[in-house]
Amino acid sequence: MASPTPELINALRRTVQSLKNGAPYQWGHMGGCNCGNLAQELTKLTKDQIHQYAMQRHGDWNEQAEDYCSTSQMPIDLLINEMLNAGLMLEDLKHLERLDDRQILGRFPIEKRFLRHNVREDVMAYMNAWAELLEEQLLAKITLPALQDIEFA
């Protein structure tokens, strides 16, 4: 599971807002699919640039994650590296493309856990749930000094 970073949480929320506002969504387009829309927010590349980079190698996001090489200078690997630097793991890319991370799906009522990976509204719901989960994890890491430990002037 991704590291709960403010950058990733905000990117997930911006992606949802962008999709809600009518951003192009096409599951079969590497720059306009689930991962592609998040990649746009994390990298500031356009959907067409992302698609062009991905087409330099074979496969969908799952296969791109499988073939990822951190030392490669291929544009898609540099793009994925930027996404990993924001807190994502390679497995997150695979799960996002299929909307199938069990931890995220567990946040939905049982009858709503069967999300369709190529439906905009389901992608938005998944990303919202993911952002909420990451935010909870981030907040759980924050410890404040106890009031009795604070010296007042």
Each residue's pLDDT tens digit, 97-137: 999 999 999 999 998 889 998 999 999 999 999 999 999 99
pLDDT digits (tens, 9 = 90+) for 70-79: 888 888 999 9
The residue ranges of every structural domain in the chain are 6-149
DSSP tag of 23: -
pTM value? 0.87
- What sign has the CA pseudo-torsion 142, 148, 151, 153? positive
Amino acid type, 131:
A
What span, in angstroms and rounded, lies between the C-alpha atoms of 84 and 119? 25
Residue 82's region, left for phi above 0, alpha for psi from -120 to 50, else beta, is: alpha
Tokens of 59: 């496969």
